[in-house]
Amino acid sequence: MGKITFKLEGGGESTIFATPGETLLGLARKANVAIDAPCSGNLSCGKCKVQLLSGSSDSQKTIHIDNAQWDAGWRLACACSVEGDAEILVPDVASAYRSRMKVSDLSSPDELAVFNSLQASMEEAGLTKESGIFSLPVRMDAPTPDDTMPDIERIARAVRGATGAGKVTLTYFALKQLPNLLRANNFALRCICERREDTVEILHLLPIADTHPVCGLAVDIGTTSVSGLLVDMESGKILSKASAGNGQIRYGADVIHRIVEQQKPGGIDQLQKSIIEETILPLIDLLCAGAAIPKGRIYRMTVASNTTMNHLLLGVDANALRMEPFIPAFFHIDAIPARDLGIELAPSAMIKISPNIGSYVGGDITAGALAGMIWNRRELSLFIDLGTNGEIVFGNKEFLVACACSAGPAFEGGDISCGMRAIDGAIEGCVIDKETTEPSFSVIGGEKPVGLCGSGIIDVTAELFRTGIINGKGKFIRDGARVKFDEFGIGSFTLAFAEESATGREIVINEVDIDNFIRAKGAIFSAILTLLGSLGFSPSDVRHVDVAGGIGSGINIRNAIGIGMFPDLPLNKYRFIGNSSLAGAYAMLVSKAAEEQLLKLSKAMTYMELSVEPGYMDSFVAACFLPHTDERLFPSAKTL
Amino acid sequence: MGKITFKLEGGGESTIFATPGETLLGLARKANVAIDAPCSGNLSCGKCKVQLLSGSSDSQKTIHIDNAQWDAGWRLACACSVEGDAEILVPDVASAYRSRMKVSDLSSPDELAVFNSLQASMEEAGLTKESGIFSLPVRMDAPTPDDTMPDIERIARAVRGATGAGKVTLTYFALKQLPNLLRANNFALRCICERREDTVEILHLLPIADTHPVCGLAVDIGTTSVSGLLVDMESGKILSKASAGNGQIRYGADVIHRIVEQQKPGGIDQLQKSIIEETILPLIDLLCAGAAIPKGRIYRMTVASNTTMNHLLLGVDANALRMEPFIPAFFHIDAIPARDLGIELAPSAMIKISPNIGSYVGGDITAGALAGMIWNRRELSLFIDLGTNGEIVFGNKEFLVACACSAGPAFEGGDISCGMRAIDGAIEGCVIDKETTEPSFSVIGGEKPVGLCGSGIIDVTAELFRTGIINGKGKFIRDGARVKFDEFGIGSFTLAFAEESATGREIVINEVDIDNFIRAKGAIFSAILTLLGSLGFSPSDVRHVDVAGGIGSGINIRNAIGIGMFPDLPLNKYRFIGNSSLAGAYAMLVSKAAEEQLLKLSKAMTYMELSVEPGYMDSFVAACFLPHTDERLFPSAKTL
């Protein structure tokens, strides 16, 4: 047994004894050492690099490690075991997550465009902005020997008078504040109240002069990315917006890996801790700092997330989700006190979770469909959400059918060696000159590029294909200044040379990346085709396509069609609606009517299990080609 | 500034610097050192003894310290300051509290007599034993590809089928158990449910074979003593019964001292911690150990306590209770999750608190009046609760009026130098031979005596008076083998010589003790007279008198009349109903109808503030005499 010492770049070390053949990734997990491993050890993401400081290793060289790195002792932890004692340097994952956190600049016109348009369509659909939570200043008479009613009845009388409520109650936390606060403020207080039918509950008490807004929190928990909004619940105004990587990513990039991980002893707690303590709590801190609002003024939190993510958020065993017959623990659940999850907001803050409709169509999709307004149209519409899972909803006012496909994390920059989320430095658009093969980019933030986000990958793939640099199988077939082939004959395209990039390192996309991406886009297209076909429809019956996802500020639909990801429909039928899951969580936060509509919509939505649908696998295989093995499906591809 | 080191008998030490003149009791509180001080420093209880190990003190010698103790350095912490550095030995208060804890022997016929008679009268009054919490075994079909409903809907369907409930919900904690437990038990579970109108909520899930009863906890929190019952909520059976001293006693013996103490910085938290962590949690452990039931099977807790005690239990500032115009924060409050108070029972266990009706008539009295059934009689009745406060309720089916008087802790053995709670070793009855002045006792547990409980003090006082050993003022006027006078001329009576007592120390009652007790009994009698008089009634109008209190297994009514504590009515009008506050908490626990009746009764009860009642003080002064300064009120006293 060798003694393995993990030295953490962020400080500290951890020692564990290894039996021969154990991978460093496995050992690190046993030793509770965090290593970034989105592909969970299938050698595809290249993100679990560690450096062997001493000792000898048995490792496989992969495309993710160049010769200089190899010589310096860098290895993929998932592909490396050591013999005898060894010292291993582990890069600071926490800092990587911190650096991936981002507060949005709300002064940028793009940032709030989706929400402004959402507010307009909510109004149109009759979903009034009325959350039920409101602030109420009340002035009471001080007690006298002739008026000795208890404090609680005094304040209830005042609130009843001001609101017309039949019954007024007070939370335990407000009760604890009551006697002191009343007397310190001459019996004039600001009550934060929640109305539920005929009852008003006093959630919190403040001095009457307190001017902080009554806040709520909308959170979209994706498998790869998490986004949040801090909202003034009375006006609906967005006070701050931020995003972060999902801390669970070190347990695997997709939901299946996460579920496998949570099956291990203590695994559920670990995954729950990871999403809450490593991701949501820092995100909340960021949102609150961004708007200068104390956490204690957040009175409600809404969450939109896929079925696995909401199970793991609650620490509910998700194993039955991945085993035939794929059973979730819940679709809809009542609100849960935030503090039961270790999320300290206002003491009585409740978390409401957007309902799931199937094991692989979760609250992110129902929330997204709510925000996309597909339920409010007469014409047949398609709603496509590009996340780690791709989900498709088809229908109109009369019916809604949904399905999911496993696209992998490519749309969020995972499984792509130079991939990243759609934050500053991400290439989000690309054109390649057919003559010179020189690329030009649009980069988020406008500076030099760092990597490639989802919309960028679509453009790069489409452009490499259009310019004949790669063929329909995604293999490199044309030489050029930026095209290289390694010792295994695997081709790659240098998007940015070292001096062109923000990091001083080359940004390269290779055949493995392109192959991962082709499978992702093939999964989406074949899911659309199978869903429509099973109901007797074809793409030409579709009148509207809403495309959602946190893949960038937009998506080049022409390119997405060009590579065979979306049906070949006129461009004006498409609309990019951004992160619709977050938009739905926002709607649910500020509007009780929207919350009710969401529940109604989720009950009406039918779930189709693609994996048991005959023909889906054949359709998927046929779609793993640029644009498609059946060119007739993409007549306009030739005109690119 | 002297350096004072408190050496704790239980282990550990604590150092603090003293300015000249500070008492050791004050310093100990600052240093967070627990010293038992029920009288809170008024030199009357003699319980704050500490030993000066080194250093010199400035102290007053009191009757509580004999010469041998004085020479050994024992001092009353409340009456002692030190000069320069000093080391102080502090007896282990925690162990004193532990030793004061007691589990009842339920096989003794006395122990459950009160509850058996209560159950009969509950039945008579139509208060059915139906708590709303019940256990339900359910067997479900396992999911199949054709039956893929989520776990939560599967179990809800089964519970709906079995109960006919319109709606079935599940707590978050039960949800967390659900997927694993279902699959580990072949979809057969035992659900612990709570019915609320048309809704059934699943609180907890267990394997179907689990046979633990569904338990509840009834607790009476007195200022001096705390008692609890562990109850099978489905059958109403009492599984264990225990009592303890209220840990807050070191902050003062009565509610006023406690409120003064909670006003200090951090005081509310400290007093709340003291009642919960030092008293209730160990009591629950004791109750559970006694019945071999895990705490996690307790699904509800009911509390009956006076207004100050329930404010402090909840950590709610009680200061306005002691200041004109005497305003409580609440009378009635909704159920509170037990875990919000740091009381870990079943995760969803709620605490229900018996409602107060005034600042000095609390939930102990409304619960006691419920159990005494005064609200269900046509004839005029009196309900008298002997605790640290004495409370009186007068009325019938038509009206109820209540008042409180500050009797001090004498009825629970406080403020009496040889006093103790009614546990093993307590003298609970006494006869003194008029000729020889030799006493004979009945002692709880039947062994040698340790001290004197409430019923014993009544008897001893009555017998000392009857035998002419003391006069109407409580002064010693007759010699005898057991009568002594100290250097100040203060008389005392040796109830047990060293060899007659269980501790090997004399048990002595002195004039200070008797004086404290006469004031206690005077407070009770004058309160009764004032209450009746203010409504235009006199004692002869009363048809029933229920006497309650944890003062022993019974009370010699003849003696209580003989000393002028109760009105001179025929003995058969009196009934001793024991700890009626605990009985009321029990009724509230096992019967929803009783809980509703309690609320109704509390709303109907009128509170009379004695302190503003003209004539009360005169009446009190007149009653501080044996039996009374107006002998005409006690014609039968002469026949004793």
Q: Does A537 touch chain B (CB under 8 A)?
A: no
Kindly indicate the confidence band of residue B120, based on its pLDDT and cuts at 50, 70 and 90: very high
Picking from A507, A505, A460, the residue whose alpha carbon sits closest to that of residue A484 is A507
What is the pLDDT averaged over residues A231-236?
96
pLDDT: which is higher, A193 or A67: A193
Note the pLDDT of residue B92: 67
Q: Considering CB atoms only, which of A150, A172, A330 is closest to B331? A: A150
Q: Does B340 touch chain A (CB under 8 A)?
A: yes
What CA–CA distances, in Å, run from A339 to A103, A281, A346, A351, A585? 25, 12, 9, 9, 20
H/E element, A29: helix A24-30
Spatial CB neighbours of B12, under 8 Å, sequence gap ≥ 6: none
What CA–CA distances, in Å, run from B297 to B240, B291, B300, B634? 14, 12, 9, 53
pLDDT in tens, B437-495: 999 999 988 889 988 988 999 999 999 999 999 999 999 999 999 999 988 889 999 99
What is the pLDDT averaged over residues B99-115?
80
The distance in angstroms from the start CA to the end CA of chain B is 60
CA of A351: which chain B residue's CA is closest?
Answer: B172
Note the pLDDT of residue B69: 85
What is the pLDDT averaged over residues B69-94?
85
Q: How far apart are CA B241 and CA B578, in angstroms?
A: 14
* Contact yes or no for A179 and B316 at CB 8 A: yes
Picking from A502, A220, A148, the residue whose alpha carbon sits closest to that of residue A366 is A220
What is the pLDDT averaged over residues A585-597?
98
Check for a shared fold between A2-91 and A133-207. yes
- Pairing type for strands B350-353 and A298-305 reads unpaired
Q: Which residues of A are less than 8 Å from B151 in CB distance? A: 320, 327-330
Across A333-337, A568-572, B13-17, B575-579, least confident range: B13-17
pLDDT: which is higher, A20 or B383: B383
Q: How much is the mean pLDDT over chain A? A: 91
Q: Considering CB atoms only, which of A151, A178, A330 is closest to B152? A: A330
Across A408-412, A434-438, A531-535, B426-430, least confident range: A408-412
Count Cβ neighbours within 10 Å for each residue of A513-549 and write b for 16 or more, e otherwise: bbbbbbbbbbbbbbbbbbbbebbeeebeebebbbbbb
Note the pLDDT of residue B552: 63
- The CATH class of the B363-409+518-639 domain is alpha beta
What is the pLDDT averaged over residues B381-405?
92
Please report the ipTM that was assigned to this predicted complex: 0.85
Kindly indicate the confidence band of residue A387, based on its pLDDT and cuts at 50, 70 and 90: confident
The token pair that represents A482 in the structure block = 């930026």
CA of A144: which chain B residue's CA is closest?
Answer: B325
Note the pLDDT of residue A66: 80
For domain B133-207, the CATH architecture is: Roll (3.10)
Angle formed by the axes of helices A109-124 and A580-590, to 10°?
A: 50
* Contact yes or no for A333 and B178 at CB 8 A: no
H/E element, A392: strand A389-395
Closest Cα in chain A, distance from residue B600 (Å): 16
What are the DSSP calls for B99-159, one per residue? Answer: HH-EE--TTSHHHHHHHHHHHHHHHHTT--S--SEEEEEEE-PPPBTTB---HHHHHHHHH
Closest Cα in chain B, distance from residue A247 (Å): 22
Q: Does B148 touch chain A (CB under 8 A)?
A: yes
CA of B612: which chain A residue's CA is closest?
Answer: A145
Q: How far apart are CA B570 and CA B627, in angstroms?
A: 16
Picking from B123, B313, B335, B166, the residue whose alpha carbon sits closest to that of residue B226 is B313
pLDDT in tens, B322-360: 998 999 999 999 999 999 999 999 999 999 999 999 998
Spatial CB neighbours of B632, under 8 Å, sequence gap ≥ 6: none
B163: left (phi over 0), alpha (psi -120 to 50) or beta: alpha
Q: Is the pLDDT of residue B97 over 60?
A: no
What is the pLDDT averaged over residues B597-623?
93
For residue B31, the one-letter residue type is A
Kindly indicate the confidence band of residue B128, based on its pLDDT and cuts at 50, 70 and 90: very high
Kindly indicate the confidence band of residue A312, based on its pLDDT and cuts at 50, 70 and 90: very high
- Pairing type for strands A439-443 and A451-452 reads unpaired
* Domain at B2-91: CATH code: 3.10.20.30
* Contact yes or no for B143 and A330 at CB 8 A: no
How much is the pTM? 0.85
Q: How far apart are CA B25 and CA B19, in angstroms?
A: 13
Q: Does B176 touch chain A (CB under 8 A)?
A: yes
pLDDT in tens, A436-491: 999 999 998 888 998 898 899 999 999 999 999 999 999 999 999 999 998 888 99
Q: Which residues of B are less than 8 Å from A205 in CB distance? A: none
What secondary structure, in 3-state letters, does A37-83 show? CCCCCCCCCCCCEEEEEEEEEEECCCCCCCHHHHHCCEEEHHHEEEE
Cβ-Cβ contacts under 8 Å between A and B: the total is: 106
Burial (Cβ within 10 Å: 0-12, 13-18, ≥19) of residue B629? middle
The token pair that represents A236 in the structure block = 């609906």
Alpha helical stretches, state H, B452-495: 454-466
What CA–CA distances, in Å, run from A5 to A8, A84, A88, A361? 9, 11, 6, 42
Q: Considering CB atoms only, which of B150, B176, B331 is closest to A314? A: B176
What is the pLDDT averaged over residues B409-418?
78
pLDDT in tens, B199-235: 999 999 999 999 899 999 999 999 888 999 999 999 9
* Domain at A364-409+521-633: CATH code: 3.30.420
Angle formed by the axes of helices A454-466 and A511-534, to 10°?
A: 100
Q: How far apart are CA B352 and CA B329, in angstroms?
A: 16
Note the pLDDT of residue B437: 95
Residue in the structure block whose two tokens are 């050890």: A41
Structural contact between residues B366 and B598, judged by C-beta atoms closer than 8 angstroms: yes
Question: Where along chain A do its domains lie?
Answer: 2-91, 133-207, 364-409+521-633, 410-517
What is the pLDDT averaged over residues B294-314?
97
* Contact yes or no for A327 and B176 at CB 8 A: no
pLDDT in tens, A103-153: 888 888 878 888 999 999 999 999 999 999 999 999 999 999 999 999 999
Residue window 297-316, chain B: list those with CB within 8 Å of chain A: 314-316
Note the pLDDT of residue A462: 96
Q: How far apart are CA A339 and CA A345, in angstroms?
A: 7
Spatial CB neighbours of A203, under 8 Å, sequence gap ≥ 6: A133, A171, A173, A174, A192, A193, A194, A299, A346, A348
Burial (Cβ within 10 Å: 0-12, 13-18, ≥19) of residue A321? buried
Q: Is the pLDDT of residue B98 over 60?
A: no
Q: Is the pLDDT of residue B63 over 80?
A: no
pLDDT: which is higher, A155 or B13: A155
pLDDT: which is higher, A619 or A223: A619
pLDDT in tens, B132-162: 999 999 999 999 999 999 999 999 999 999 9
Closest Cα in chain B, distance from residue A345 (Å): 15
CA of B355: which chain A residue's CA is closest?
Answer: A150
* Contact yes or no for B145 and A612 at CB 8 A: yes
Q: Does A340 touch chain B (CB under 8 A)?
A: yes
Indicate which of B141, B317, B608 best probes the interface with A, i.e. most A CBs within 10 Å of its own CB. B317
Note the pLDDT of residue B417: 83
Note the pLDDT of residue B99: 54
Note the pLDDT of residue A500: 93
Q: Does A144 touch chain B (CB under 8 A)?
A: yes
Kindly indicate the confidence band of residue B9, based on its pLDDT and cuts at 50, 70 and 90: confident
Count other Cβ atoms within 10 Å, centred on residue B613: 16
